[in-house]
């Protein structure tokens, strides 16, 4: 049986029953979007919660999942129930990534993600069921945190307009890049590539998988704080000259502006 990765400090989190319902939701969505799993969706939602733009849930849900949601939950009642399940996890992530609390205690790990750990019993069961071949477990089964990190980085790429790279080479910009790199490291499945990148990021340090997961979680928290301090500037709205009240209306109606669009 798989178990979620949790931190040592207890912050707002979901109940087992809520996560079970979220798991069922993901299984339904996976029939229409093969990317979706509980761990992938949790990573994706974490990136959305950590990002610079506060998108309404329905907006990011439809942008992230396309028509998979409407196909999986076509019935209005099913849509409402599924949205409530998604909202329960979304609200918890927003609380865990509350920037004010993060900045008050920068050394505390508040984020408690859903990361599934494959036990030896799980691997043996998959071999027995014929899902994977004996001896290929490490090749076919994701590493801890790998799918979560893919979900996070998929959002960074899919919502790239919300994640503009820093324009200047500053310490803050370097920290931003390092945060994304710490998360992206977990997505590497090839052992040689992973070992090479790990050594480049942490030269001479003995970093176990759980250590790297913790580094990635702190990176997500740091990104939340980064965007609070470096929120993208809204685009300047260009407004044309407004006609005088007695001038002809710009719509071409022939009426005075005050009696048409200026009324």
Q: What is the dihedral of CA 160, 87, 102, 197, to 10 degrees?
A: -50
Helix or strand holding residue 26 (H, E): helix 16-30
- Rounded CA gap, 239 and 260, in Å? 19
Averaged pLDDT, 213-235? 90
The answer to whether the CB of 95 falls within 8 A of the CB of 45 is no
The model scores a pTM over 0.95: no
| Local confidence band at 162 (pLDDT 50, 70, 90 cut-offs) | very high
- Rounded CA gap, 224 and 95, in Å? 12
Averaged pLDDT, 62-75? 97
Average pLDDT across the chain, whole number:
87
């Amino acid at each position: 049986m798989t178990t979620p990765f949790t931190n040592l400090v207890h912050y707002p989190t979901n109940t087992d029953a809520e996560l079970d319902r979220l798991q069922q939701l993901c299984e339904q969505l996976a029939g229409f979007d093969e990317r979706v799993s509980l761990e992938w969706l949790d990573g994706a939602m974490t990136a959305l919660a950590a990002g610079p733009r506060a998108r309404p849930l329905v907006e990011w849900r439809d942008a992230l999942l396309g028509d998979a949601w409407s196909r999986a939950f076509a019935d209005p009642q099913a849509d409402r129930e599924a949205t409530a399940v998604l909202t329960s996890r979304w609200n918890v992530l927003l609380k865990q990534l509350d920037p004010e609390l993060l900045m008050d205690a920068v050394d505390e790990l508040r984020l408690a993600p859903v990361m599934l750990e494959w036990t030896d019993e799980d691997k043996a069961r998959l071999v027995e069921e014929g899902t994977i071949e004996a001896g290929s477990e490490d090749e076919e089964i994701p590493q801890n945190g790998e799918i979560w990190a893919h979900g996070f980085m998929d959002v960074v790429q899919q919502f790239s307009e919300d994640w503009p790279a820093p324009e200047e080479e500053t310490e803050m910009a370097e920290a931003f890049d390092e945060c994304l790199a710490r998360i992206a490291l977990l997505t590497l499945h090839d052992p040689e590539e992973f070992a090479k990148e790990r050594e480049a990021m942490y030269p001479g340090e003995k970093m176990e998988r759980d250590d790297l997961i913790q580094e990635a979680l702190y990176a997500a928290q740091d990104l939340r704080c980064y965007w609070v301090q470096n929120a993208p500037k809204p685009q300047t709205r260009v407004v044309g000259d407004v006609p005088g009240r007695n001038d002809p209306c710009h719509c071409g109606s022939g009426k005075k502006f005050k009696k048409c669009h200026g009324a």
